[in-house]
Amino acid sequence: MSEAVTQPLPETPEDKAAGPWREAWTGFRKSKAALFGAAIVLMFVLLAFAGPLIAPEGINEQDMSKRLMAPSAEHWFGTDDFGRDIFSRVIHGARISLWVGFFSVIGSVIVGSLLGIIAGYYGRWVDTIISRLFDIMLAFPSILLAIAIVSVLGPSLQNALIAIAVINVPNFGRLIRSRVLSIKQDEYITAAKGIGMRDSRILFSHILPNSMAPVIVQGTLAVATAILEAAALGFLGLGAQAPAPEWGKMLSDARNYLRDAPWTMIFPGLAIMLTVLGFNLMGDGLRDALDPKMKS
């Protein structure tokens, strides 16, 4: 009696779609630095969501009798010039910084991707106009352009978010444009045009999904940059306004007490450094996992 030969099941479209992402996740897990960065990011995300439950005191509870106290068992990070608990304010500041970082990048990705796919797909004068707009914006130092935008709109956290989103649009726009210029020459795009598929469906069903890998990497790194830019605007008095516990604003308020109470500046600065480090390490790991050129 001959043994039955089992045939492998045919690969479904879902398996084909999940394959590259599963492979990328496997590659990401192999990087200890990327996992360390992801752990840092996850820690600050949890602090942002659970801040009111973890913080021992209110962010604006003042006690002038405890003004500029050094770190102790009662106040882990010490107190500021108004007697407020710095540990509580740093925890609440994570929510503000991550909120600005994530939503400014989301806005940049949406607008930049839309302009990039239009420029890359249609080309000619449309590409020329959009590309020149990107060049003009990139000609200015990003922080100076952000300062100019906030100066026009007025100093506030929301306007700082808008400014950070605007200055990052060219980065995503040019990235998507280069991907579209490459992908639109592929045979399946030519076939889609040949059967009369609408441009909007080609752009959003075929070209954009195949351009997302570098956008994810750039977006992760851009969150770190956005947090730094938000802190810089807050330090200059153009971002979050008092008494909001934004890390850049806390650094600005601590400038006069650097010698007598260095902890007022050290802990907000460490929070900024660790958050940016976490996103950068995670972004590097995603780049190695998603970019075929980086794979051995």
Please indicate, yes or no, if residue 2 is contained in any of the structural domains. no
192-222 tens-digit pLDDT: 777 777 777 777 777 777 777 788 888 889 9
pTM of structure: 0.82
8 A C-beta contact, residue 61 and residue 84:
yes
Please indicate, yes or no, if residue 214 is contained in any of the structural domains. yes
SS3 85: strand
219-265 tens-digit pLDDT: 889 999 999 999 999 999 898 887 888 899 999 888 888 888 888 89
Cα(168)–Cα(165) distance, rounded to whole angstroms? 5
> Residues 95, 276, 209, CA angle at the centre, nearest 5°?
85
85 phi and psi, to 5 degrees?
Answer: -75, 120
Please indicate, yes or no, if residue 180 is contained in any of the structural domains. yes
Range of the domain at 234: 47-57+75-290
Residue type, 34: A
pLDDT greater than 60 at residue 167? yes
Give whole-number Cα distances, 103 to 75, 144, 171, in Å.
Answer: 32, 21, 16
Instruction: Give the chain's domain count.
Output: 1
CATH of residue 148: 1.10.3720.10
Cα(58)–Cα(36) distance, rounded to whole angstroms? 30
Please indicate, yes or no, if residue 190 is contained in any of the structural domains. yes
Sequence-separated (6 or more) residues with CB below 8 Å from residue 105: 165, 168, 219, 222, 223, 226
Residue 253 CB: number of other CB atoms within 10 A? 19
Please indicate, yes or no, if residue 111 is contained in any of the structural domains. yes
